[in-house]
Amino acid sequence: MLNDSHRNQFYWDAMEPFVTGKRVIDIGAGSGLLSLMAAKLGAESVLAIEASKDMVALAQLNITRNDQSDVIRIIHDMSSNVKLKEEEKADVIVSETLGALMLGEGTLDYMADARKRLAKPGARVIPAGGAQFAMLIASPSLAQVSSVQSDCCKGFDLSAIGSLQDTGNIFFTKQWGFRLNLLPDLVEMSERIQFLEVDFQKSDRQHIPSTKTFRLTALKDGVIHAVVASWEVWSDEERTHKITTHPEDTRGAPWGFSRDMQWGQGLQLVEDFDLACKSERNTPPAPFEVKKGEELLLTVRFSVPCKQTFQFTLRRASVADAKDVRFTDKGQ
Amino acid sequence: MLNDSHRNQFYWDAMEPFVTGKRVIDIGAGSGLLSLMAAKLGAESVLAIEASKDMVALAQLNITRNDQSDVIRIIHDMSSNVKLKEEEKADVIVSETLGALMLGEGTLDYMADARKRLAKPGARVIPAGGAQFAMLIASPSLAQVSSVQSDCCKGFDLSAIGSLQDTGNIFFTKQWGFRLNLLPDLVEMSERIQFLEVDFQKSDRQHIPSTKTFRLTALKDGVIHAVVASWEVWSDEERTHKITTHPEDTRGAPWGFSRDMQWGQGLQLVEDFDLACKSERNTPPAPFEVKKGEELLLTVRFSVPCKQTFQFTLRRASVADAKDVRFTDKGQ
């Protein structure tokens, strides 16, 4: 992860205009890299907060080796347990606690808590904001991981194994043993839509809707195998300075392998829900076949109450419109 | 895994000459595919033994759907708990309980037990034999996963994070989030050596040595980053009919993605052990730099007492020969 030099440069550039002479708090400091950067950029003081004992020992060693012990202090605790006096509160909060899902490791809650309790009013927060995106994809080789091909098995009908296929939960590509951008048969079946935006200077979990539905159009004839979830995080409102986990952005980049190993993408397999409802227990998920131009509804449901993770449901607009009123935006 | 059509064809071909009119036992039957094959090839009876309740239900459904209920009986248990009368014992044992490491899921113990207790003397065992191989490799991008590059971090010395790098245990590539054969910078640094051979008709765990050392020659100047463990399993003594997990064999093959997702390879990161002994606690592993033609000693230590898994130690022949007598073959 430290080898994601593009990420490191992003944080350096994001901090540079704001930390000189300021008090900085680094939430989830890990190896201490962001704290070291803040110190080198001229911060008056840096408070590095880290919950892992091993990482605290490592950060302490890194701070000593890089001669920043005078500026950086480490606290071994969860940031939500830390208490500070008024005069100790920070001007700048910096954190890299982003997960395979943007908020999956709790970054929004930790940042919101730190903003309220550990920082001065109006403190700068880095990164400034982020958004989570979804896109529909097709990939027969991806579908092979958890379903059976009809030509594989000497003519036997083994399709029932597909009934074990999980189309209800989001997985992480890095745990599946491949890089999404190296699948040779990946096809983008929809535009990429932004389904969540957070302002790390203002948002907290109450601002995230519990359910949201988006209208998408199939770009091609084919079978939709999965929804890919990736994110962008930025340091400026214009989003000119950002890091992303979109598969195409890591392909071929010198730091791409490190980012895919660290974050990758969220992936949820898709079935034709309206057909599946009518089928029996051991029937495999029905393939979600679409025609180019077909209107689809993608519903995102955020976890309750934390809203850090989410699940997708994909339906045909033609079916859902007619008989189902759940597909409305209950949030925002 | 069912989509590994090459594996399926291997088992079909291996069973075809031996099962007609015979009693067959399928150890770890899973979805029931091998049992279905045996039945279709004319077996008199097939006993499918499977420990997972869900898989038993699935196999039962597959057997019913494929009209083989008269020939195949399923037992929901570990094969080591099954008891049979003399007249029920098998002529042929078939099993696909191979792991990322050939013996890693206990196949040798289960096959040896079934051979002795559940089969007639001299019963045919499929697969007939197998071998586990090792090769030294270099790959800077592989090394990036768990160590820090000097140019990544704005000039800070963060090398101490390397002290968390695990060079003592074998990992599975499929759990690391990439396919070994898609690493763009993979270099073979030694020949591939066979370090273990088993005859599934005869071997049991007592035949596996606890430690074995092999002499290898560096093929190039460079840094050795890891040892790759892959295997071959065959149905005939000449090894003309076999399945392998060598990375080059799955690259580009239609069934290659399925095999990499199912088995992949074992991988152990390498450090220069003789340098590391002299260094301090927080020093990262010393890179194992070699010159073309340099003589190396690769020691394999099998797990005690099961001998299903193993660890590697790589040393320079020049250092080890002089001062260390542990590097002898204690087995075989």
Terminal Cα-to-Cα distance of chain A (whole angstroms): 34
Task: Indicate the pLDDT class of residue A249, thresholds 50, 70 and 90.
Answer: very high
Interface of A with B in 194-233 (CB under 8 A): none
Residue A275 confidence (pLDDT): 80
CA distances, B18 to each of B5, B11, B12, B38, B41 (Å): 21, 11, 11, 9, 9
Residue B1 confidence (pLDDT): 67
Residue B259 has pLDDT above 60, yes or no: yes
Q: CB neighbours (10 Å) of residue A123?
A: 20
Residue B145 confidence (pLDDT): 78
Residue A171 has pLDDT above 60, yes or no: yes
Q: What is the pLDDT of residues A39-53, one digit of tens each?
A: 999 999 999 999 999
Quote the CA–CA distance of A178 and B157 in Å, as a whole number: 31
Quote the CA–CA distance of A202 and A270 in Å, as a whole number: 34
Quote the CA–CA distance of A24 and A239 in Å, as a whole number: 23
Contact with chain B for residue A64, Cβ under 8 A: no
Residue A35 has pLDDT above 50, yes or no: yes
Of B144, B267, B179, nearest to A183 by C-alpha is B179
Q: If you count DSSP H runs as helices and E runs as strands, how many of each does chain B have, helices first? A: 10, 17
User: What's CA A221's distance to the chain center, in Å?
Assistant: 29
- The answer to whether the CB atoms of B173 and A177 lie below 8 A apart is yes
Contact with chain A for residue B64, Cβ under 8 A: no
Residue A1 confidence (pLDDT): 66
Within 8 A of B264 by CB-CB distance, chain A residues are: 177
Percent share of chain B, pLDDT over 90: 77
Identify which has the larger pLDDT, B141 or A8.
Answer: A8
Residue B300 confidence (pLDDT): 96
Please report the domains of chain A, with CATH numbers, ordered by start residue: 5-126 (3.40.50.150), 130-323 (2.70.160.11)
Mutate to test the interface with B, among A69, A145, A158 (most CBs of B within 10 A): A158
Residue B327 confidence (pLDDT): 42
Tokens of A197: 């935006």
A87 catalytic per annotation: no
Provide φ and ψ at A242, rounded to 5°: -150, 160
ipTM over 0.85: no
By Cβ distance, the residue of A9, A141, A173 closest to B257 is A141
By Cβ distance, the residue of A8, A36, A152 closest to B152 is A8
Residue B59 confidence (pLDDT): 95
Contact with chain B for residue A262, Cβ under 8 A: no
Task: Indicate the pLDDT class of residue A321, thresholds 50, 70 and 90.
Answer: low
- Can you tell me the mean pLDDT for B272-278? 78
How far does the CA of residue B72 sit from the closest CA of chain A (Å)?
A: 14
Identify which has the larger pLDDT, B279 or B56.
Answer: B56
Mean pLDDT score of chain A, rounded to an integer? 92
Task: Indicate the pLDDT class of residue A313, thresholds 50, 70 and 90.
Answer: very high
> Please, which residues bridge with residue A187 across strands?
A138
Residue A178 has pLDDT above 80, yes or no: yes
Q: Are A223 and A138 in contact (CB under 8 A)?
A: yes
Among the residue ranges A199-208, B44-53, B144-153, the one predicted with the least confidence is B144-153
Mutate to test the interface with A, among B2, B26, B164 (most CBs of A within 10 A): B2
Contact with chain B for residue A235, Cβ under 8 A: no
Residue B211 confidence (pLDDT): 95
Residue B324 confidence (pLDDT): 47
Buried b (16+ CB within 10 A) or exposed e, B268-285: bbbbbbbbeeeeeebebb
- Can you tell me the mean pLDDT for B114-142? 96
Tokens of B22: 């015979």
Mean pLDDT score of chain B, rounded to an integer? 92
DSSP alpha helix (H) spans, chain A: 5-15, 33-40, 53-65, 107-117, 140-144, 173-176, 247-250, 256-262, 273-276, 317-323
Residue B157 has pLDDT above 60, yes or no: yes
Q: Are B263 and B174 in contact (CB under 8 A)?
A: yes
A280 catalytic per annotation: no
- The answer to whether the CB atoms of B257 and A282 lie below 8 A apart is no
Quote the CA–CA distance of B290 and B223 in Å, as a whole number: 6
**Radius of gyration of chain A from Cα atoms?**
22
Within 8 A of A258 by CB-CB distance, chain B residues are: 144-145
Within 8 A of A48 by CB-CB distance, chain B residues are: none
- The answer to whether the CB atoms of B65 and A177 lie below 8 A apart is no
Residue A188 confidence (pLDDT): 98
Identify which has the larger pLDDT, B112 or B150.
Answer: B112
Tokens of A254: 């010198």
Q: What is the pLDDT of residues A191-217, one digit of tens each?
A: 999 999 999 999 999 999 999 999 999
How far does the CA of residue A13 sit from the closest CA of chain B (Å)?
A: 11
What SS3 class is residue B66? coil
Residue A328 has pLDDT above 70, yes or no: no
Contact with chain A for residue B12, Cβ under 8 A: yes
Q: Are B126 and B93 in contact (CB under 8 A)?
A: yes
The phi-psi region of residue A172 (left if phi > 0; otherwise alpha if psi is between -120 and 50; otherwise beta) is beta
Question: Inter-axis angle of helices A33-40 and A53-65, to 10 degrees?
Answer: 30
Residues 6+ apart with CB under 8 A from B81: none
Residue A244 has pLDDT above 50, yes or no: yes
- The answer to whether the CB atoms of B176 and A179 lie below 8 A apart is no
CA distances, B125 to each of A150, B192, B199 (Å): 28, 27, 9
- Can you tell me the mean pLDDT for B87-115? 97
Q: What is the pLDDT of residues B290-323, one digit of tens each?
A: 999 999 999 999 998 899 999 999 999 988 654 4
Residue A87 has pLDDT above 70, yes or no: yes
Interface of A with B in 156-185 (CB under 8 A): 156-158, 160-161, 163-164, 173-179, 182
